[in-house]
Chains A and B, each alone.
Chain A
Amino acid sequence: MNFDSYDIGGFYDELFDDSSEPRNFVAPLIKKINTLSKRELKRRRLAADRALKQQGITFSVYGDKQGIEKIFPFDIIPRVIPGSEWDRLERGLKQRIKALNLFIDDVYNEQRIFRDKVVPKNLIKSSSTYLKECEGLKPPKGIWIHITGTDLVRDKDGEFYVLEDNLRCPSGVSYVLENRAILKKTFPDVFHTMKVRRVAEYPDQLYETLMHLAPESSKDPSIVVLTPGIYNSAYFEHTYLAQEMGVTLAQGSDLTVINDEVMLRTTKGFRKVDVIYRRIDDDFLDPQVFNPDSLLGVPGLINAYCKGKVALANAPGTGIADDKAVYSYVPKIIKYYLGEEAIIPNVPTYLCDNKKDREYVLDNLKDLVVKAVDQSGGYGMLIGPKSKKKEREEFKEKIKANPRAYIAQPTLALSRSPTVVEEGIEGRHVDIRPYILYGKDIFVTPGGLTRVALVKGSLVVNSSQGGGSKDTWVLEGDEIPC
């Protein structure tokens, strides 16, 4: 029996309770896996890998001349979330996105929140993600953050926390959909019994979200997905989403701006574009406005955008709200704009820019996680308990040299979930990234991408650093119907 010697190892486990018994709502899944021989388990794992490779569901590894494509490692044991727990998270995410959108709009326009001294003005103005070019900008329908992927983690106490708001170009949603397609083949009967909520409508919802931005004057709006191209690590996802929505996948060189209209170069001549779902970072969008060396973007795009000739999702400048120092203010931001308490709490955060916080951080580096405020993907991080003395000394110097650029958080004991490894099944740390779409309404995909740190004991779940993923099953209710 595969789970006989399963040990939760003192962590919160997603599928097992404190006495290492399966949680009530996962009983059919655990029972099924227990009936499989080790060999059969391995066979199903290899079949899943093979399917990913055959379908070309891969990401490119940067810095490799050969352009090596790797599959994003996939674990066949799903992470399961009972319905009522998810419903609360969904409410919390909607609340957060609504408030953050109001915040961004305020920061670039009226700036009430500075006058009311809720968020210090210099914190915003000193952020590298603040775009002067967006001052006074009124994006279509007042929406800035159309697509968000918020990272949540669960701590030892079983409580979910928001770890990061990814408000720029969050990736990974294609894996949610593909993982589901594969897992339905891996455990069809259990999937059926457990009444799992659907994720398949994401592309339809995304399409509606983008259509919502199209100018009303346009009778047959044209939407494109803008990709940096085939060598981008998320290229598969860009093709996938374009294909699922049936819209054009364009590269910067396919677009040109003529008389402030953004045009596609087609075999039939130039064709106007109304909405761009851009998967290119702000910096590279338009060499006339931002990074002049960018070959990925479209010269004149921002001008066309500011004149309301084309809509962009997400709007430029949204990075200001996922600056990790601004993050620490989000509960206050929610309270300020919505008059509500945050439903999902933040992880306590020390701002190195504050003298008191900084002193604490410098004295306690060994117990803290330090992050650069404007980076993501697991880069620019120090995990105190796993760090070497030399690394800590380096970070001390960096923090002292530029305190605004760093924050620190206590090291969380991330929850674990059973994962197939060489030795059998063991617990591995996980996080979760639900995807939120802001169009006519706010829509949250049930579940999201569960990322798993495959290396034993590791807390880093990023694909660039040895992470894998799991399917996430949000159940219709809390109990399994017998």
Chain B
Amino acid sequence: MLSRVANSIYWMSRYLERLDSISRFINVNYFLMLEKAATDEPTQWGPLIFASGDDKLFFERYKKSDEKSVIKFLSFDEENPNSIISCVKNARENARTVREIIPTEQWEVTNELYYYVKDEAKKKKHSELQDFYKAIKAYNNQIIGLIHNSLTHDQAWHFLKLAQYLERADKIARLLDVKYFSLLPNPTYVDSPYDAIEWGAVLKSVNAFQMYRQKYHRINYENVSEFLIYDRDFPRSMSFCVNEAFNSLNKIIAIIKEDEGIKSCKNSKSSSEIPAERRMKDLKYMLDSNDTKNILAIGLHEFIDDFQMKLNEVDEAIYNSFFALKEFSFT
């Protein structure tokens, strides 16, 4: 597979996952704020901006983090490189450069999604926003389904999964970090009904509410943290994501080495350890050698900071290992 193609597939997948996360976050927050309206509590749209990681850009462009500006910024602001519309554009642009590789139907749905979001963004009033976020999720599910059922499970597939799970791990970590920061300072909230609503919303934001209930029944922050960091089987826990990414990376490396075994190409990579492998092991070790209790004792924020730093190192190493092939490194 061409390095450029692998790179495009990787980013297409990250952007698709990213836009799915954002639309979930907004949608859940919207309903949460409706609940709060009943008890006259102040609405909170700010944390969403912090969870997106683009708070600096936001406050350069908007005065207050109220509902209207946050929704605009995260959904339709083309100046925000991580808004839904920007993600859709980038996902589609990347898909377009690899459309001969990905299943045609997947390209078509991605293309349709692009035109859908573009048309929605043109509307002056967004009264039907619920439908919009619902549609985004539906499109994304369709795309993921098409990929799952019609793409050969070779390199392209594993680059796709690698990107998807790294992106997802990042978004879960951010959400957890921000919510933890904004909810915990007030000890009277802990284990109160208010707490259950707030942490329930966190779970819903990553589609984890129902599965969490089946396992823990009662909602409290320790269990929510445990579930979202460590649950072995839930597809939106950090640990699950890292394991899946780890597996896909190993598959990619195995495919490359196997192929080189057959062809014994001169410019081979097989002799040395691939940098991405090292970094991924670091990331996995960081999770595996720890537990929730310990993390909450030292500070979740510090832990997540470190986690995200390591995620970035993995991302960089993937770029250097697979996408940026240079002649001189082999001669």
B49-57, B97-105, B166-174, B215-223: which lies at the interface: B97-105
A233-278 with Cβ < 8 A to chain B:
235, 239-240, 242-243, 248-251, 253-254, 256, 258, 264-271
Query: Which single member of A230, A239, A254, A270 contacts B267 (CB below 8 Å)?
Result: A270
Query: Is A217's beta carbon under 8 Å from chain B?
Result: no
- With most chain A CB atoms within 10 A of its CB, the pick from B96, B112, B256 is B96
Contact with A along B91-126 (1 / 0, CB 8 A): 001001101110010011001100100000000000
Query: Is A5's beta carbon under 8 Å from chain B?
Result: no
Query: Is B66's beta carbon under 8 Å from chain A?
Result: no
Query: Is B151's beta carbon under 8 Å from chain A?
Result: no
Query: Is A53's beta carbon under 8 Å from chain B?
Result: yes
Query: Is B3's beta carbon under 8 Å from chain A?
Result: yes
In the complex, the answer to whether A269 meets B330 with C-beta atoms within 8 Å is yes
B contact residues around A258 at 8 Å (CB): 267, 327
Query: Which single member of B6, B100, B111 contacts A54 (CB below 8 Å)?
Result: B111
Query: Is B320's beta carbon under 8 Å from chain A?
Result: no
Query: Which single member of A55, A56, A243, A265 contacts B325 (CB below 8 Å)?
Result: A265
In the complex, the answer to whether B3 meets A254 with C-beta atoms within 8 Å is yes
Nearest CB of B to A166, in Å: 24
Q: How far is the CA of A254 from the CA of B2 in the complex (A)?
A: 7
Known: A265-B325, A267-B1. A249 touches B96 (CB 8 A): no
- With most chain B CB atoms within 10 A of its CB, the pick from A242, A254, A269 is A269
Known: A56-B99, A239-B99. A265 touches B4 (CB 8 A): yes
Q: Interface on chain B toward A: helix, strand, loop, or mixed SS?
A: helix
Query: Is B234's beta carbon under 8 Å from chain A?
Result: no
Contact with A along B240-278 (1 / 0, CB 8 A): 000000000000100110011000010111000000000
Q: Which residue of A lies closest to B269 (CB)?
A: A269
In the complex, the answer to whether A266 meets B108 with C-beta atoms within 8 Å is no
B contact residues around A269 at 8 Å (CB): 260, 265, 267-269, 325, 330
Query: Which single member of B3, B99, B111, B260 contacts A265 (CB below 8 Å)?
Result: B3
Query: Is B155's beta carbon under 8 Å from chain A?
Result: yes
In the complex, the answer to whether B107 meets A56 with C-beta atoms within 8 Å is yes
B contact residues around A253 at 8 Å (CB): 4
In the complex, the answer to whether B111 meets A55 with C-beta atoms within 8 Å is yes
Query: Which single member of B2, B99, B323 contacts A264 (CB below 8 Å)?
Result: B2
Q: How far is the CA of A266 from the CA of B325 in the complex (A)?
A: 8
Q: How large is the interface on A (under 10, 10 to 19, 20 to 34, 35 or more residues)?
A: 20 to 34
A contact residues around B139 at 8 Å (CB): none
Q: How far is the CA of A258 from the CA of B325 in the complex (A)?
A: 14
In the complex, the answer to whether B112 meets A265 with C-beta atoms within 8 Å is no
Contact with B along A35-67 (1 / 0, CB 8 A): 000000000000000000111100000000000
Nearest CB of B to A272, in Å: 9
Q: How far is the CA of A242 from the CA of B327 in the complex (A)?
A: 26
Nearest CB of B to A254, in Å: 5
In the complex, the answer to whether A256 meets B327 with C-beta atoms within 8 Å is yes
Nearest CB of A to B100, in Å: 4
In the complex, the answer to whether B4 meets A56 with C-beta atoms within 8 Å is no
B contact residues around A270 at 8 Å (CB): 265, 267, 325, 330
Known: A248-B2, A253-B4, A258-B327. A268 touches B269 (CB 8 A): yes
In the complex, the answer to whether A265 meets B2 with C-beta atoms within 8 Å is yes
Query: Is B322's beta carbon under 8 Å from chain A?
Result: yes
Nearest CB of B to A163, in Å: 32
Q: Which residue of A lies closest to B100 (CB)?
A: A243
Contact with A along B260-301 (1 / 0, CB 8 A): 100001011100000000000000000000000000000000
Q: Which residue of B lies closest to A55 (CB)?
A: B108
Q: How far is the CA of A266 from the CA of B93 in the complex (A)?
A: 21
Q: Which residue of B lies closest to A257 (CB)?
A: B327
- With most chain A CB atoms within 10 A of its CB, the pick from B1, B155, B325 is B325
In the complex, the answer to whether B260 meets A268 with C-beta atoms within 8 Å is yes
Q: How far is the CA of A256 from the CA of B255 in the complex (A)?
A: 23
B contact residues around A243 at 8 Å (CB): 99-101, 104
Q: How far is the CA of A112 from the CA of B269 in the complex (A)?
A: 53
In the complex, the answer to whether B97 meets A230 with C-beta atoms within 8 Å is yes
Known: A243-B100, A267-B155, A270-B330. A53 touches B115 (CB 8 A): yes
In the complex, the answer to whether B96 meets A56 with C-beta atoms within 8 Å is yes
B contact residues around A266 at 8 Å (CB): 1-3, 325
Q: Which residue of B lies closest to A271 (CB)?
A: B265
- With most chain A CB atoms within 10 A of its CB, the pick from B155, B265, B330 is B265
Query: Which single member of B100, B322, B323 contacts A249 (CB below 8 Å)?
Result: B100
Nearest CB of B to A66, in Å: 11
A contact residues around B1 at 8 Å (CB): 266-268
Nearest CB of B to A295, in Å: 14
Q: How far is the CA of A258 from the CA of B266 in the complex (A)?
A: 12
A contact residues around B322 at 8 Å (CB): 267
Query: Which single member of A56, A240, A267 contacts B111 (CB below 8 Å)?
Result: A56
A contact residues around B267 at 8 Å (CB): 258, 269-270
B contact residues around A256 at 8 Å (CB): 327
Q: How far is the CA of A239 from the CA of B267 in the complex (A)?
A: 28
In the complex, the answer to whether B4 meets A268 with C-beta atoms within 8 Å is no
Q: How far is the CA of A54 from the CA of B155 in the complex (A)?
A: 27
Q: How far is the CA of A268 from the CA of B155 in the complex (A)?
A: 10
Known: A56-B96, A56-B111, A256-B327. A267 touches B104 (CB 8 A): no
Q: How far is the CA of A271 from the CA of B1 in the complex (A)?
A: 10
Contact with A along B192-219 (1 / 0, CB 8 A): 0000000000000000000000000000
Q: Which residue of A lies closest to B258 (CB)?
A: A268
Q: How far is the CA of A237 from the CA of B155 in the complex (A)?
A: 25
Q: How far is the CA of A269 from the CA of B256 in the complex (A)?
A: 9
Q: How far is the CA of A239 from the CA of B101 in the complex (A)?
A: 9
A contact residues around B4 at 8 Å (CB): 251, 253-254, 265
Q: How far is the CA of A240 from the CA of B100 in the complex (A)?
A: 7
B contact residues around A56 at 8 Å (CB): 96, 99, 107-108, 111
A contact residues around B111 at 8 Å (CB): 54-56
B77-100 with Cβ < 8 A to chain A:
93, 96-97, 99-100
Q: How far is the CA of A230 from the CA of B260 in the complex (A)?
A: 31
Q: How far is the CA of A253 from the CA of B265 in the complex (A)?
A: 21
In the complex, the answer to whether B327 meets A268 with C-beta atoms within 8 Å is no
B contact residues around A240 at 8 Å (CB): 100
In the complex, the answer to whether A250 meets B2 with C-beta atoms within 8 Å is yes
Nearest CB of B to A40, in Å: 25
A-B contact pairs, 20 of them (CB 8 A): A55-B104, A55-B108, A55-B111, A230-B96, A239-B100, A243-B101, A243-B104, A253-B4, A254-B2, A256-B327, A265-B4, A265-B325, A267-B1, A267-B256, A267-B322, A267-B323, A268-B1, A268-B255, A268-B265, A269-B268
Q: Given known contacts A54-B111, A56-B108, A235-B96, what 14 new A-B pairs fall within 8 Å (CB)?
A: A55-B104, A55-B108, A56-B107, A230-B96, A243-B101, A248-B2, A251-B4, A253-B4, A258-B267, A268-B259, A268-B260, A268-B265, A269-B265, A270-B267
9 closest A-B pairs by CB: A243-B100, A242-B100, A265-B325, A269-B267, A270-B267, A239-B100, A267-B322, A56-B111, A268-B256
